[in-house]
Structure 1
Amino acid sequence: MINIIWMFLFAVGFVFAAINGTMEEVNAAIFDGAKEAVAICIGLISVLVFWLGLMKIAQNAGLLDGLAKLARPLAKKIFPEVPSDHPAMGYILSNMIANLFGLGNAATPMGIQAMKQLKELNDNKDEASRSMVTLLAINTSSLTLIPTTVIAIRIQYDSASPTEIVSTTIIATMISTISAILIDRYFYRRKVKRGDRK
């Protein structure tokens, strides 16, 4: 569906440019955009490689395992249907820790694996389980301590103070994560009251 929407917007833009005679500006914008995208990607790669390297060092040093152990009791309260020793819990914790450090790209594969494991726990039903909905809500809001990707973009565009957004990011993502959990619990309790618990 997203591809159809993008193609529609692309086609409308071309038709509009052809009618207004601004095709030359559209062509220039396409090439400038492509050039800028490559420059941003190269800038992001360097920062992401640095942080992923630090994450690997932290993992080998046992820091991530330590953080996961600290977060396990909280995760158990948020995901009560998931057994503590199930692989899904490990993937969920890894996903949350990666998001905590602003490494969304590293968190995505772990989030996908967590969803697969949660689907197996849900007897491979097409309907999402409570835990799957909760994981999606938390993953979307994702509490972040270090917004690595945003800092990298700010550095790329020569920001005078690329890390000044850290405190506001912590506050904003803390509010969004708490809100996501509260909204998730509200709708779950409504569902339970209707007698539709699954």
Structure 2
Amino acid sequence: MVHIIWVGMAAVGIVYAMFNGTIEEVNKVIFESANDAVFLTISLISILVFWLGLMRIAEEAGLLIKLAELFKPIFKRLFPDIPPDHPAMGYILSNFSANIFGLGNAATPLGIKAMNELKKLNNDQDDASRSMITLLALNTSSVTLIPTTIIAIRMQYDSIGPTDIVISTIFATIISTIGAILIDRYFYYRRKGRLEYDTSIE
């Protein structure tokens, strides 16, 4: 759906430029933006490698495992329908720990594996289960201690304090995570109440 929106916006912009007589400016901006994107991507590689290297050291040192054990009691309450020793719980904890340290490249495959395990628990049904929805909400709003990519971009553009956003990022992601959990729980209990009401009527 999102890609359709972006294509539609681009098409409307190009058509408007044709009727407005500014198609040359649009072409110029397209090529300049593409050039800037390539330059930014290449220039960010060294910075991202440095930060991701530090995060990998933390992972190899067992810090992610310790964090997973720390958050395990909380996740048992967030995912009550998952058996404590089920592989899905391990993947979820590892995914959350990786996201905390900005290890998006490590968190993504862990999240996919967690979803696959949750689908097995859901008897391979096409409808998302309660735990799958909760995991998606947590991934979307995940708490982040070190926003690696944002720091790298700020360093690339010569920010005076590229790491000044760390504290504000922590607060923002904590608030977004709490909000995601509350919304997730609200709609879950709302749907549960409707199902119980429909059952009582029948």
TM-score normalised per structure 1: 0.91
**Partner of 2:200 in structure 1?**
none
How far residue 69 of structure 1 moved from its aligned partner, in angstroms, is 1.3
How far residue 196 of structure 1 moved from its aligned partner, in angstroms, is 5.0
Question: For the structure 1 residues 44 and 110, does the alpha-carbon distance in structure 2 shift closer, same or farther, using more than 3 Å as the test?
Answer: farther
Report runs of 4+ in structure 1 exceeding 6 Å deviation.
none
CA deviations over 1:120-165 (Å, ceiling 9, x no partner): 1111111111101111111111111111111111111111111111
**Does 186-195 or 9-18 show the bigger shift?**
186-195
**Partner of 2:183 in structure 1?**
183
Distance 1:80 1:69 in 2: 17
**Partner of 1:76 in structure 2?**
76
**Partner of 1:91 in structure 2?**
91
**Partner of 2:130 in structure 1?**
130
CA deviations over 1:15-63 (Å, ceiling 9, x no partner): 1112122122111111111111112212332233223222322222222
Do 1:103 and 1:149's aligned partners in 2 also have CA atoms closer than 8 Å?
A: no
Distance 2:89 2:124 in 1: 17
Distance 1:44 1:90 in 2: 32
TM-score normalised per structure 2: 0.89
Question: For the structure 1 residues 196 and 116, does the alpha-carbon distance in structure 2 shift closer, same or farther, using more than 3 Å as the test?
Answer: farther
**Partner of 1:120 in structure 2?**
120
Do 1:43 and 1:152's aligned partners in 2 also have CA atoms closer than 8 Å?
A: no
User: In structure 2, what residue type is equivalent to 1:131?
Assistant: S
Do 2:101 and 2:146's aligned partners in 1 also have CA atoms closer than 8 Å?
A: yes
Distance 1:91 1:51 in 2: 23
Which structure 1 segments of 5+ residues have no match? none
Question: For the structure 1 residues 7 and 186, does the alpha-carbon distance in structure 2 shift closer, same or farther, using more than 3 Å as the test?
Answer: closer
**Does 136-145 or 59-68 show the bigger shift?**
59-68
Query: Aligned residue pairs: how many?
Result: 197
Q: 5 Å matches for 1:22-33?
A: 22-33=22-33
**Does 46-55 or 169-178 show the bigger shift?**
46-55
**Partner of 1:17 in structure 2?**
17
User: In structure 2, what residue type is equivalent to 1:47?
Assistant: I
User: In structure 2, what residue type is equivalent to 1:76?
Assistant: K
Which structure 2 segments of 5+ residues have no match? 198-202
Q: 5 Å matches for 1:24-173?
A: 24-173=24-173
| RMSD (CA atoms) | 1.8
How far residue 64 of structure 1 moved from its aligned partner, in angstroms, is 1.5
Do 1:145 and 1:169's aligned partners in 2 also have CA atoms closer than 8 Å?
A: yes
Distance 1:43 1:109 in 2: 26
Do 1:137 and 1:184's aligned partners in 2 also have CA atoms closer than 8 Å?
A: yes
Distance 1:8 1:192 in 2: 37
